[in-house]
C-alpha cells in the first residue's frame, strides 16, 4: 500500500508542533568566549598593540586545517566571500562568469557587485549543474570563471565537472555555503577549485548569524583576498596567510572593501567547528529517516543521490509530479496550516529567501529562456529545513502531514483545504 494512503489514517489530522526554522543554539563554550571578548572590548579583529591571539586569526587557522587548505580568511558574509573570491581571481567589469541556475540571490548578486556578466547554466533532475550545458556555454561565451554552487547541499558529478573545466580552461570558484564538511568520493567540497567560499549565516552548518570564510591554496589569490577584505597594513596578524613577500606584490594595487569578520563572530564559530562532523552525521541520520517517507508519498519525488555524493543535508528537497499549480498551492496551504512550512521555487514571485533566475532581472545579458530544464525542475521543487533536533517521531509526523496534504489537495478541488481544527 502506498505510504501516501497509509499516512492519512487517523481520527484527527497530524500537526507538527515544532519550528522548522529554529536554529541550533550556540554551544556554551561559544557563549563564554563571546562574553569574555565583550568584557575585553576588542571586537575588531586587528589591534595595533595586542598581546593576545585574535579570535578571527585562530579560527582561520583552525578552519584551514579542517578543510585541508593552505590559506583561510574570515569575512562578514558568504555573499561577500564570493564577491572577494571573484575579485581575487581577477574578474573585471564586463567579464563573463558561468553559474548554475539553481542557487540563491547572493550568488548572482556577487557577480553583479563585481560588475561582471552572469552566464546561467542549466540544471538537471538531480538539482545540480548540467555538465553538457556547462561545456556548451563555456565554449560559446568565452567565460573563464565557473562559480559553482552546491545549492541546498546537492553536489554534481565532480569528475565530469572537472573534466569540462580542464577542457575549457575554467577557473572554479566553489560556493560551499550548503556543503561545509560534505564531499564527493572522499574529497571535501572546497578542495576542487582555485578558491572556495563558505557561509556561517544562521541556517548554515555553523552559525554566527552572519559570516563567511574563504579558502585557497593559491598564495596570490589568498593575499589579494586578505587585502580586499580590509586588512589595512595589519595582514601580518593573520595566521593562515601567505608570506609577507606575497603581500608586497599586491598591497599598492588592491582596494580595501571593509568586509572583515569580527572577533566576536569568530569566537562564536570556534566552539562549533569541533562538533561540525557530529552535526553533519546527525543531519544524515534525519535525512535517512525522512527521505524514504517523503519519497513514498503519491506525487512526490526525491532526487537520486549517487554513492559518491557525501552530502551534509541541513535541508531536504523534493519535487511534485503531475500536479497542477492549483493543487500544489492547496498542498502548500495545508502543510502550512499543519505546521510544516515549505518553500516552493515555483512561485511566480520571489518569497522570503526563495528566488530563481528569471527573478534576477538586474543581471546584464541574461535571457530568461537560457535554462529551460531549470524552469521545469524549479517549478516543481519544494524545500524544507532540517533542524538537528528532529527525532524519528518528528520525521514521521512531518511525513504524515505531507501525506494528508496530498490527499486533502485532491479532495479540496475548488475549495479551501481542511484546517487543523477540522
pLDDT bin (cut points 50, 70, 90) of residue 354 is confident
Pick the CATH number of 28-275 from 3.90.950.20, 3.40.50.2300, 3.40.50.800, 3.40.640.10: 3.40.640.10
pLDDT bin (cut points 50, 70, 90) of residue 351 is confident
- pLDDT at residue 367 tops 70: no
pLDDT digit string, tens, across residues 60-112: 999 999 999 999 999 999 999 999 999 999 999 999 999 999 999 999 999 99
Which CATH number applies to 3-22+276-411? Answer: 3.90.1150.10
- pLDDT at residue 4 tops 50: no
pLDDT bin (cut points 50, 70, 90) of residue 392 is very high
SS3 70: coil
The answer to whether the CB of 286 falls within 8 A of the CB of 395 is: yes
DSSP string, 166-233: HHHTPEEEEE-TT-TT-EETTEETTSSSSEEEEE-STTSSS--SS-EEEEES-HHHHHHHHHHHT-TT
How many residues are listed for the chain in this entry?
A: 422
Q: What is the mean pLDDT of the chain?
A: 92
- Copy the grid coordinates of residue 2: 502506498
- Copy the grid coordinates of residue 394: 518528528
Which sign, positive or negative, has the C-alpha torsion 349, 361, 128, 103?
negative
pLDDT bin (cut points 50, 70, 90) of residue 1 is very low
Average pLDDT for residues 193-206, to the nearest whole number?
96
SS3 66: helix
- pLDDT at residue 125 tops 60: yes
The answer to whether the CB of 256 falls within 8 A of the CB of 230 is: yes
Nearest-angstrom CA–CA distance, 315 and 70: 30
Find cell 554534481 and name the residue: 156
What is the Cα 73 distance to its own chain's centre? 18
The answer to whether the CB of 80 falls within 8 A of the CB of 103 is: no
pLDDT bin (cut points 50, 70, 90) of residue 3 is very low
Nearest-angstrom CA–CA distance, 78 and 177: 7
SS3 377: helix
Q: What is the domain partition of the chain in residue ranges?
A: 3-22+276-411, 28-275
- pLDDT at residue 359 tops 90: no
- pLDDT at residue 417 tops 70: no
Amino acid at each position: 500500500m502506498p505510504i501516501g494512503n497509509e499516512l492519512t489514517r487517523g481520527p484527527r489530522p497530524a500537526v507538527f508542533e515544532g519550528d522548522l526554522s529554529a536554529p541550533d543554539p550556540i554551544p556554551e563554550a561559544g557563549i563564554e568566549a563571546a562574553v569574555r571578548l565583550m568584557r575585553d572590548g576588542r571586537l575588531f579583529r586587528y589591534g595595533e598593540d595586542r598581546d593576545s591571539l585574535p579570535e578571527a586569526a585562530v579560527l582561520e587557522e583552525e578552519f584551514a586545517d579542517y578543510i585541508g587548505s593552505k590559506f583561510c580568511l574570515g569575512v562578514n558574509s558568504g555573499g561577500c566571500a564570493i564577491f572577494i573570491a571573484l575579485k581575487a581571481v581577477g574578474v573585471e567589469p564586463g567579464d563573463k562568469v558561468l553559474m548554475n541556475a539553481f542557487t540563491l540571490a547572493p550568488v548572482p548578486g556577487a557577480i553583479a557587485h563585481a560588475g561582471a556578466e552572469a552566464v546561467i547554466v542549466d540544471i538537471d533532475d538531480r538539482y545540480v549543474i548540467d555538465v553538457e550545458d556547462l561545456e556548451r556555454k563555456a565554449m560559446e561565451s568565452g567565460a573563464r570563471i565557473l562559480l559553482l554552487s552546491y545549492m541546498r547541499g546537492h553536489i554534481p558529478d565532480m569528475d565530469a565537472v572537472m573534466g569540462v573545466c580542464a577542457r575549457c580552461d575554467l577557473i572554479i570558484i566553489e560556493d560551499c555555503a550548503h556543503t561545509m564538511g560534505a564531499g564527493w568520493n572522499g574529497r571535501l567540497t572546497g578542495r576542487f577549485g582555485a578558491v572556495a567560499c563558505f557561509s556561517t549565516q544562521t541556517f548554515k552548518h555553523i552559525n554566527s548569524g552572519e559570516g563567511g570564510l574563504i579558502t585557497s591554496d593559491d598564495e596570490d589569490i589568498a593575499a589579494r583576498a586578505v587585502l580586499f577584505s580590509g586588512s589595512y597594513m595589519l595582514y601580518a596578524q593573520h595566521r593562515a596567510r601567505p608570506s609577507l613577500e606575497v603581500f608586497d606584490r599586491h598591497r599598492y594595487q588592491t582596494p580595501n572593501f571593509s568586509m572583515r569578520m569580527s572577533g566576536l563572530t569568530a569566537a562564536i564559530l570556534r566552539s562549533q567547528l569541533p562538533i561540525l562532523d557530529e552535526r553533519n552525521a546527525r543531519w544524515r541520520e534525519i535525512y535517512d529517516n525522512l527521505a524514504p517517507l517523503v519519497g513514498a508519498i503519491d506525487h512526490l519525488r526525491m532526487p537520486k543521490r549517487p554513492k559518491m555524493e557525501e552530502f551534509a543535508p541541513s535541508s531536504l528537497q523534493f519535487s511534485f509530479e503531475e500536479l497542477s499549480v492549483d493543487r500544489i498551492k492547496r498542498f502548500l496551504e495545508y502543510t502550512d496550516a499543519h505546521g510544516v512550512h515549505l518553500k516552493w521555487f515555483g512561485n511566480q514571485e520571489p518569497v522570503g529567501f526563495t528566488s530563481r533566475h528569471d527573478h534576477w532581472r538586474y543581471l546584464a545579458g541574461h535571457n530568461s529562456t537560457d535554462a529551460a530544464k531549470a524552469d521545469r525542475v524549479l517549478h516543481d521543487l519544494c524545500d524544507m529545513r532540517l533542524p538537528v533536533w528532529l527525532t524519528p517521531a518528528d520525521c514521521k509526523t512531518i511525513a504524515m502531514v505531507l501525506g494528508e496534504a496530498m490527499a486533502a489537495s485532491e479532495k479540496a478541488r475548488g475549495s479551501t483545504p481542511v484546517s487543523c481544527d477540522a
